[in-house]
């Protein structure tokens, strides 16, 4: 059961990893092919849907994780009801755009160019919302092989299609049109796979079940909506208060390292059942210790990555987005400061205690504070203020909220909740390792890519040596613990499965 759970976590995380990687590849190519104005129009058009997608989805895709396992004999009917609701919400988005929403957003974003782009983009929600149920449906039906193949094929097709058309017609219209067409192409296979995976003699939806899905999913949708809005709030504010050129610079900097999602997501999925079990058994100390230990092990990867990217940020930005986006370095470095907190996932500790409502309260209050502070700082400092606001609110509000909540629920003093000492030691060692990066000034004749290729493995070896010699007692001379968790149990399992089933 443990291996099966780990493997499923790997598939889910790899799906999100592929989405993030595909977006990064597209951004890298389009940043070079477009002017800043055209690239800003492209990103602002995508942002219009990304910002409202959680509201449109209403948590319905996640509802399938609950309803299909409970009634597998009628899972096909359940799926139909779910898809109809999502298709209806997608239609609402399209109609809203055609009824003046495009002009409203163009005025709000100070960019008339996106008005026509939004009209081209309007059918996207009709396709993307139903497709968003693929992971939940196939995973609930134990069709992991189908999901893995679909994730890889759909992401590759989307990237190739978008880049291919843009290379022919180098305009934002081509990129938006290609995005919609690519979603149309993967829409049919997604529907076919889901209906083949589900069971039942009838496929017509049941009205009573639709009501149950709405009742169950709306609270999830609200929480998800607040979370996604929080992630995109800074971009919306920058887009509304700054020029399109400044938005283009900021949008490329406000990215998440693909490594974070697959690492923390996999670790959380693997440890969550044990944390819940310990809490129910009354062994809160064991639950807290397991959570802290996983955070320290994640820190061994994320904190060195933070320090390396901070020092090498100019080279990374130029390699990814070209010299036009040198100014992206500054917000990129500010966002890297969030990585020490990303070493742990706070939600599972509250969920294990049955306090999901506390998560909603924290997310909502964080969103409100970030909105107010972002508007103030952006008006005074420009787009850099949005990044500062996000980091400040996270450390001054969200982290204390989580720490106090866990302290109260698990009965430990505040100083015992977060592994402050171990995180501090790992951070210091990671910073010391960055002295290796100073050699970049002695390689002026080499390209940024070559310098990264030379320095990154040297930095990695240096940090591994420092961790083994001077790391925290819980990980000193035991880097294999983390390798076993992430590589052997997640990546290794995936590789073995690919060899067995696909090769």
Task: Mark whether 443 and 476 lie in a shared domain.
Answer: yes
231 and 328 belong to one structural domain: no
Instruction: Using DSSP, state whether 254 is helix, strand or coil.
Output: coil
Q: How far apart are CA 459 and CA 438, in angstroms?
A: 10
Say if residue 432 is in the same domain as residue 366.
no
Domain-terminating residue out of 370, 397, 416: 416
In the block, which residue shows the tokens 């290379």?
167
pTM, 2 dp: 0.71
Structural domain of residue 369, as residue ranges?
355-416
Those residues with Cβ within 8 angstroms of residue 1's Cβ, 6 or more apart along the chain or in another chain: none
Per-residue pLDDT tens digits for 257-266: 766 666 666 6
Query: DSSP letter string over 210-275?
Result: HHHHHHHHHHHHHHHHHHHHHHHHHHHHHHHHS-HHHHHHHHHHS---HHHHHHHHHHHHHHHHHH
Q: Residue 497 falls within a domain, yes or no?
A: yes
Token pair, residue 234, equals: 């800074």
Judge if 213 and 191 occupy the same domain. yes
pLDDT score, position 268: 62
In a domain, residue 246? The reply is no
Residue 157 shares a structural domain with residue 211: yes
Question: Both 211 and 278 in a single domain?
Answer: no
Which two three-digit tokens encode residue 223?
Answer: 């929480």
**Residue 350: inside a domain:** no
Domain membership flag for residue 431 = yes
Query: Per the structure, how many domains does the chain have?
Result: 3
| Same domain flag for 142 and 94 | yes
Which residues of the chain fall below pLDDT 70? Answer: 1-20, 200-201, 219-220, 223-224, 227, 256, 258-273, 356, 473-503
Any domain includes 273: yes
Taking the C-alpha atoms of residue 256 and residue 19, their distance in angstroms, rounded to an integer, is 12
Q: Of 207, 180, 225, 206, which is closest to residue 57 (Cα–Cα)?
A: 225
Q: Is the same domain home to 119 and 210?
A: yes
Domain boundary among 241, 266, 301: 241
Q: Are 234 and 254 in contact (CB under 8 A)?
A: yes
Q: What is the pLDDT of residue 491?
A: 42
Give yes or no: residues 409 and 430 share one domain: no
Chosen domain end from 188, 208, 241 = 241
Indicate if 85 and 217 belong to the same structural domain: yes
In a domain, 251, yes or no: no
- Report the pLDDT value the prediction gives residue 333, as an integer from 0 to 100: 92
Whether 292 maps to a domain, the answer reads: yes
**Which has the closest alpha carbon to 263: 308, 304, 225?**
304
Asked whether residue 335 is domain-assigned, the answer is yes
Whether residue 98 is found in the same domain as residue 40: yes
The residue behind tokens 């959680």 is: 54
Are 179 and 162 spatial neighbours (Cβ–Cβ below 8 Å)? yes
Q: Is residue 431 located within the same domain as residue 332?
A: yes
């Amino acid at each position: 059961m443990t291996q099966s759970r780990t493997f499923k976590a790997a598939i889910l995380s790899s799906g999100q990893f592929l989405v993030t990687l595909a977006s990064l590849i597209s951004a890298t190519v389009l940043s070079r092919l477009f002017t800043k104005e055209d690239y800003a129009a492209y990103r602002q058009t995508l942002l219009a849907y990304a910002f409202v997608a959680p509201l449109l989805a209403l948590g319905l895709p996640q509802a399938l994780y609950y309803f299909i396992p409970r009634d597998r004999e009628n899972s096909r009917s359940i799926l139909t009801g779910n898809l109809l609701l999502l298709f209806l919400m997608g239609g609402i988005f399209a109609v809203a755009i055609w009824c003046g929403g495009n002009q409203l957003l163009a005025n709000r974003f100070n960019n008339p160019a996106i008005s026509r782009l939004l009209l081209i983009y309007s059918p996207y929600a009709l396709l993307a919302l139903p497709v968003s149920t693929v992971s939940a449906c196939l995973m609930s039906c134990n069709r992991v092989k189908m999901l893995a193949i679909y994730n890889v094929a759909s992401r590759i097709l989307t990237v190739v299609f978008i880049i291919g058309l843009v290379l022919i017609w180098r305009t934002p219209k081509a990129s938006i049109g290609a995005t919609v067409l690519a979603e149309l192409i993967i829409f049919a296979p997604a529907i076919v796979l889901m209906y083949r995976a589900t069971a039942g003699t009838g496929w017509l939806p049941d009205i009573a079940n639709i009501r149950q899905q709405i009742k169950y999913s709306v609270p999830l949708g609200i929480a998800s909506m607040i979370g996604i809005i929080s992630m995109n709030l800074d971009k919306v504010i920058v887009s509304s208060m700054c020029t399109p050129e400044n938005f283009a610079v900021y949008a490329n900097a406000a990215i998440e390292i693909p490594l974070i999602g697959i690492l923390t997501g996999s670790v959380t999925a693997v440890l969550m059942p044990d944390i819940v079990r310990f809490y129910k058994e009354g062994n809160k100390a064991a639950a807290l210790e397991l959570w802290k230990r996983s955070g320290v092990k994640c820190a061994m990867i994320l904190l060195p990555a933070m320090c390396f990217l901070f020092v090498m940020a100019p080279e990374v930005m130029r390699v990814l987005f070209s010299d036009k986006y040198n100014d992206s370095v500054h917000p990129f470095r500010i966002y890297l400061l969030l990585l020490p907190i990303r070493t742990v996932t706070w939600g599972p500790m509250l969920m294990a205690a049955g306090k999901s409502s506390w998560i909603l309260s924290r997310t909502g209050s964080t969103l409100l504070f970030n909105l107010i502070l972002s508007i103030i700082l952006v008006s005074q400092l420009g787009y850099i203020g949005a990044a500062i606001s996000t980091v400040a609110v996270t450390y001054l509000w969200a982290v204390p909220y989580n720490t106090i909540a866990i302290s109260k629920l698990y009965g430990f003093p505040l100083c015992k909740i977060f592994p402050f000492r171990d995180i501090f030691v790992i951070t210091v060692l990671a910073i010391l390792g960055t002295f290796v990066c100073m050699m970049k000034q002695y390689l002026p004749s080499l390209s940024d890519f070559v310098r990264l290729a030379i320095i990154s493995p040297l930095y990695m070896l240096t940090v591994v040596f420092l961790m083994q010699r001077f790391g925290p007692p819980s990980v000193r001379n035991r880097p294999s613990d983390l390798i076993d968790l992430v590589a052997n149990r997640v990546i290794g399992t995936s590789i073995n499965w690919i060899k067995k089933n696909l090769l």
